Amino acid sequence: MSHYLTLARDGVAEIEVKRSRFLCTVERVGTEQAARAVVERLRKQHGDARHHCSAFVLGPDAAVERSSDDGEPAGTAGAPMLEVLRGHAGEGVSDVVAVVTRWFGGTLLGAGGLVRAYGDAVRAGLEVAGTRRRELVRELRLELGHGDVGRVESELRTRGVAVLDTTYGAQVGLLLGVSPGDVAQLHAWIAELTGGTLVAEPVGERWVDR
């Protein structure tokens, strides 16, 4: 797993089905605790609503998935909401919580109607929020002299290498970021730019927004 999709921004969208209002809130979250806090916040904010159904997906590999029907017939709300998160944009989104707040309009929608309404509400919320790609980046540190740093840094940036941080001391330290598949190419470029005298040392990895 070297990349996944998450939200570009938080979003809110509302649809109406037979006078029932379905207000979808989608937010980016990093933990299960944060996801549940969003649900509780909206439950308090919209205390006059009958249901606050929810679904969330967490982690680069979508390892954590939870959903709640919150009083709707089993399988008619949380499950279809989760299915939309799993399948949005062809590969699903993660680090996302979706909450659909429903105000009952007086007409029963039936199981099929509820499944469609909750799914459509989440799709509308995701459409407003948009998506952003997150990529796994390998971090390597390159130490070089003050006289060389400008040229080397400029060349590396031109070739698509991310310079994540710069530290100054007796030498200049560049914290470089590349995708896991480009590490060998980075070493080759550094060898080319420094005449084979310098090597970047691996220091870790992180997920970054693109």
Two structure tokens written together for 68: 């709640």
Same domain, 66 and 142: no
In this structure, what DSSP letter does residue 17 have?
Answer: E
For the beta carbon of residue 72, count every other beta carbon within 10 angstroms.
21
Please state the pTM of the whole predicted model. 0.84
Same domain, 110 and 171: no
Q: State which amino acid sits at residue 61.
A: D
The CATH number of the domain holding residue 56 is 3.30.230.30
Task: List, for residues 5-52, the tens digit of each pLDDT value.
Answer: 999 999 999 999 999 999 999 999 999 999 999 999 999 999 999 999
Domain that holds residue 87: 3-129
Among 96, 129, 162, residue at a domain's last position: 129
82 burial via Cβ count (<10 Å: 0-12, 13-18, 19+): buried
CB–CB of 175/139 below 8 Å? yes
The tally of domains found in the chain comes to 2
What is residue 187's three-state secondary structure? helix
pLDDT digits (tens, 9 = 90+) for 68-80: 999 999 999 999 9
26: Cα separation from own chain's centroid = 11
